[in-house]
A and B are shown apart, each in its own frame.
Chain A
């Protein structure tokens, strides 16, 4: 068990190292670099040399990668090009804002997804299932920017219930932020809930058709006791992993949603830094987003391992 956890964490680190290599090589191979984009037409001769000198781009690539990686391990991402500010200072409030948005969506989304998933599975192919499943299919297939735009159009413009666009400075406090984020949270939670509800549904259906549940029915275990005692614990375990993968996948959607609502989080920073060709910030963002993905999956793996005694012994025997 202990070795297994260590192994998972190590694999996560290897993934992060490969991600950093990919982004580094990617920004290296693709035409244009920080200096040519920063100086634009004046990128020649002495000015270019001076810029290379200043940013340390005249050192060979592998040395730059090693020194960059060394600094990143110590928590220093270097300087952003556009703002001439330490990337850590740029990232700090953005990470916090995005965390607030994501956690609000998760706190609202997970219970609703569980309830919807269980209801649709238990009333499979009946009216509640057909209605909810149709709605979830719509919610998960329609692109984030469309559902967000429709939310703004209907709730903010036609009904005038809530503000449509978030207009707050980046370094806003959480209490000031919360009333502003209702619509973005709904937009993200909607898609997330739809995805999770579908997975919970199919997982519950799978368990309901298994032999031991049939056995419990034959033995005359009361229906709801059977559902809560025999079905749900077994159905929700495998769903954890899939849900984790989905949350990670939705990171891309969060970027788009933040742009639609003008929300000062990591997503808008992605767009801004790429538009400005601020490569150091892009590299930092890639590492941060990849670490979020890796850690969510790691937590999900460990959770399943800890909660599932069967899997524990299985892995040790291997």
Chain B
């Protein structure tokens, strides 16, 4: 009879936990709605290039500002482009950039927070003061400055967003580390002679992981909000890339006449943000973490 190795057991345990959390999340109506919206948007992001009925950048002056019809489901915009095509493709860039941005935010924010919580003392004081200072610069000013000086390419946006939304995670990770650091199992690990790295990896991370993940899920929706705001202001992706924020800002001037060109991307972006928010809330509840009293910093 083959015995299971420890790593195999751990792996199985993690898969079990993920499916358990997903089931708990979907068992409440709000969590179910959130998850469905999110899955729908992710599928749409992958499949939309194959589903799109027209070319997203095909300009045709003779088709300018057509009302929704059987041919153009959501009408056409001021350059005669199909709004339906651009709407279903409008979330791709936003989802990709903010997903990887949140991963970066999770990584550096989580690790720095754990480190600060563990070492404490002078280093902790200095780092937290700097994090506080970054928190007091409005995100929009900092992002605009970076983007206007470095450009709006994906390679700039992902790390910039990741950096700016990670500073709040530092505080959460640090607080979570403070909560576990005085517990007996850390003391006994020290007594067993484990070094800092081993303690971080084996004792602290498994215990603070949930709190940091929930925070990261929340950051994702804020980051999406931030990224779309940048696009809306004209500092995000550059035309003719279909992006909801950019579409709204372009169609806004003519919305007294062609309201469809504004409504379609608004529905797209709002539903995605609400979906992520509901999912993040359900995720927090499923993991038993209450973050309703926290400020969005």
Chain A residues with CB under 8 Å of chain B are 11, 14-16, 18-19, 22-23, 26-27, 30-32, 137-138, 141-146, 149-150, 152-153, 157, 195, 198-199, 201-203, 206, 238, 241-242, 245-246, 248-249, 251-252, 255-256, 259-260, 270-271, 274-275, 277, 282, 285-286, 289-290, 293-294, 297
**Which of B132, B245, B295 is close to A145, meaning CB atoms less than 8 Å apart?**
B245
B297 within 8 A of A: yes
Which of A198, A285, A286 gathers the greatest number of chain B CB atoms within 10 Å? A286
B83 CB, min distance to chain A CBs, angstroms: 16
B59 within 8 A of A: no
Q: Please indicate the chain B residues that have their CB under 8 angstroms from the CB of A143 in the complex.
A: 225, 228-229, 232, 269-270, 273
Are A149 and B262 interface neighbours, CB within 8 A? Answer: yes
CA distance A16 to B129 in the complex (A): 11
A223 CB, min distance to chain B CBs, angstroms: 24
Are B146 and A15 interface neighbours, CB within 8 A? Answer: no
B292 within 8 A of A: yes
How many interface residues does chain B have, given as a range?
Answer: 35 or more
Are B221 and A141 interface neighbours, CB within 8 A? Answer: yes
B19 within 8 A of A: no
CA distance A43 to B285 in the complex (A): 57
B197 CB, min distance to chain A CBs, angstroms: 30
A152 CB, min distance to chain B CBs, angstroms: 8
B144 within 8 A of A: yes
Q: Please indicate the chain B residues that have their CB under 8 angstroms from the CB of A206 in the complex.
A: 293
**Which of B137, B140, B259, B290 is close to A256, meaning CB atoms less than 8 Å apart?**
B140
B182 within 8 A of A: no
Are A18 and B133 interface neighbours, CB within 8 A? Answer: yes
Chain B residues with CB under 8 Å of chain A are 129-130, 132-142, 144-146, 148-150, 221, 225-226, 228-229, 232-233, 235, 245, 248-249, 252, 255-256, 259, 262, 266, 269-270, 273-274, 277-278, 290, 292-297
B252 to A, closest residue via Cβ = A149
CA distance A312 to B2 in the complex (A): 63
Pick 13 A–B contacts, CB within 8 A, sort by A.
A19-B136, A141-B274, A241-B295, A246-B295, A251-B140, A252-B138, A252-B229, A255-B140, A256-B140, A274-B141, A275-B148, A289-B137, A293-B136
Are B233 and A31 interface neighbours, CB within 8 A? Answer: no
**Which of A26, A32, A251, A259 is close to B233, meaning CB atoms less than 8 Å apart?**
A259
B230 to A, closest residue via Cβ = A256
Are A256 and B232 interface neighbours, CB within 8 A? Answer: yes
Given contacts A19-B133, A252-B139, A245 and B293 within 8 Å (CB-CB): no
Are A249 and B145 interface neighbours, CB within 8 A? Answer: no
A23 CB, min distance to chain B CBs, angstroms: 7
Q: Please indicate the chain A residues that have their CB under 8 angstroms from the CB of B292 in the complex.
A: 198-199, 201-202
Q: Please indicate the chain B residues that have their CB under 8 angstroms from the CB of A153 in the complex.
A: 255, 259, 262
**Which of A146, A199, A270, A275 is close to B141, meaning CB atoms less than 8 Å apart?**
A270
Known: A18-B132, A270-B144, A282-B141. 6 other contacts (CB 8 A): A30-B150, A143-B228, A199-B292, A270-B141, A274-B141, A286-B141
Are A146 and B266 interface neighbours, CB within 8 A? Answer: yes
Q: Please indicate the chain A residues that have their CB under 8 angstroms from the CB of B293 in the complex.
A: 199, 202-203, 206, 238, 242
A215 CB, min distance to chain B CBs, angstroms: 23
Q: Please indicate the chain A residues that have their CB under 8 angstroms from the CB of B133 in the complex.
A: 15, 18-19, 22, 290
Q: Please indicate the chain B residues that have their CB under 8 angstroms from the CB of A137 in the complex.
A: 274, 277-278
Are B137 and A138 interface neighbours, CB within 8 A? Answer: no
A302 CB, min distance to chain B CBs, angstroms: 17
A9 CB, min distance to chain B CBs, angstroms: 14
B209 CB, min distance to chain A CBs, angstroms: 24
